[in-house]
Amino acid sequence: AACHIGVNIIRAGMSLQQQMRQGTQGRQGQCTQHQAHVQRRVAVVVAASSDGHRLHTALSQAPAMHSAGPGLAPCSAPTQQRPARRSAVLVRASASAPWKKKNSRLVLEDGSVWTGVGFGAPGTEVGEVVFNTSMSGYQEIMTDPSYKGQFVSFTVPHVGNVGINTEDMESDKVHLGAIIVRDLSISTSNYRSSISLDEYCKKQGVMGISDIDTRALTKALRDTGCLVGVLTTDASKTDAELVTMAKAWTIVGKDLLSVVSCKEPYEWRQGTTPEWEFAPHLKAAAGSAPFHVVAYDFGIKLNILRRLASFGCRITVVPATWPASEVLKLNPDGVFFSNGPGDPSAAPYAVENAKAILGKKPVFGICMGHQILGQAFGGKTFKLKFGHHGGNHPIRAPGGRIEISAQNHNFAVAPATLPAGVEVSHVNLNDGTCAGTIWEEKRAMTIQYHPESSPGPHDADVCFEPFVEWMRAARAVHAMV
């Protein structure tokens, strides 16, 4: 309403100032009463402008004031002057606000309440709140099974501008509990986009909240550590009730591997498509006989499967609980342990399977696979304060090489608990935590981060090479026997 009143003031003022210029042009000092009269009209209009109706009335009364204003003699300006133009425009304020009202709450276990605008599906969800520092790739993050049980707050402020496409999924659905953004894009602009982020969340039944101060939220999580939160659009629930819900839930001790894993084995042979292949030399180096890899699906990302295939592997994907004896019956060239969500110490069956395979076949683990194999080596895991989530984490690799990596994990392997013979090969340069191990005697390698780089930089793609070389060497030895 204030904007509309301002428009009326400007228009009225311009009209009256025009009269002043016309009535005094060439006659400065001859008609001071006329000048004073016009100035008084402007003052009356401005005083009346707090209400659209009063402004319209004031403008309608202006001609009478011109002929004989209170206490003023009629103006003696020459009659040949062009008469002043009068106009009145009444612009009424909109019945509703032009912005969306805040209708959603994120309540954390520390009692803090963050109000915002809900999008996607309505309802109430509980999960661990983490922040992700990636500048792009929200679609890949949302469909990463490793985020099961978590809410992801994006530190990049503008999310949703490229929509959602059918090609960049990391699984067949969204696994995280909710997404938190500063600003949800009101438009979508990308040649591959088929649906908006809001529409996609609605179809997937995933909650979202925007207009949250994600910078302040990130600082709070860095200071206190990851917090459990409840996101709701239900106005009937009190803040106290939501805090109680948050305090009653924890991700520690939860086995989520079997929740997100496939239910039956399946085969995978599709590598990275030529359009997106950033290492075209791999196909020529792979040879005609692909390596057979059995991959444990703890929540495996599709781009890991694509990268293994690009390195010359055909993959048999098996459920998280698949017995090691059944894996060994397939006589694979190597065994892969994938990424996944939850607490690694809550999946002892996975650790026992890894122990049974260790030393019999070359093995490679990524993210959760790194933590499962770390326990199989004899080590222990612990929970990080706020985890590593993003596409810009620096890693010191063997030989002093520095890699910029994509990461997503809340737990880590404690190096001091690893047995002799296991080398900490990769170190996170942000906090010094273990980011990778090698046990040469057992032909075992683990990486805490995501060398498949989806989303993220391609620096760590070389991490697949030692695993492939071990399989190639084992095949050569077998051929000589």
Cis before residue 455, ω within 30 degrees of 0? yes
From the number of C-beta atoms within 10 Å of its C-beta (0-12, 13-18, 19+), residue 266 rates as: exposed
Q: Which of these, 394, 319, 406, 331, lies nearest to 366 by C-alpha position?
A: 406
Q: With contact defined as beta carbons under 8 Å apart, do 130 and 228 qualify?
A: no
Sorted by sequence, the CB contacts under 8 Å of residue 184 that are 6+ apart come out as 117, 119, 159, 160, 197, 198, 208, 210
Q: Are strands 313-319 and 291-297 parallel, antiparallel or unpaired?
A: parallel
450 part of the active site: yes
Sorted by sequence, the CB contacts under 8 Å of residue 60 that are 6+ apart come out as 88
Q: With contact defined as beta carbons under 8 Å apart, do 231 and 124 qualify?
A: yes
In this structure, which amino acid lies at residue 270?
A: Q
Q: How far is CA 238 from the centre of its chain?
A: 28
Cβ-based neighbour number of residue 479 at 10 Å: 7
Q: Which two tokens stand for residue 114?
A: 């963050």
Q: Which residues pair with 131 in a beta bridge?
A: 153
Cα–Cα dist 450/456, whole Å:
8
Catalytic annotation, pick one of 367, 388, 393, 409: 367
Q: With contact defined as beta carbons under 8 Å apart, do 161 and 184 qualify?
A: no
Q: With contact defined as beta carbons under 8 Å apart, do 378 and 358 qualify?
A: no
Q: Which two tokens stand for residue 310?
A: 């690009």
170 part of the active site: no
From the number of C-beta atoms within 10 Å of its C-beta (0-12, 13-18, 19+), residue 376 rates as: buried
Q: Which of these, 186, 99, 192, 103, lies nearest to 139 by C-alpha position?
A: 192
Q: Which residues pair with 105 in a beta bridge?
A: 115, 232
Catalytic annotation, pick one of 201, 388, 452, 463: 452
Q: With contact defined as beta carbons under 8 Å apart, do 48 and 24 qualify?
A: no
Sorted by sequence, the CB contacts under 8 Å of residue 193 that are 6+ apart come out as 162, 163, 164, 165
Sorted by sequence, the CB contacts under 8 Å of residue 289 that are 6+ apart come out as none
Catalytic annotation, pick one of 34, 393, 450, 463: 450
367 part of the active site: yes
Q: Enumerate the active-site residues.
A: 367, 450, 452
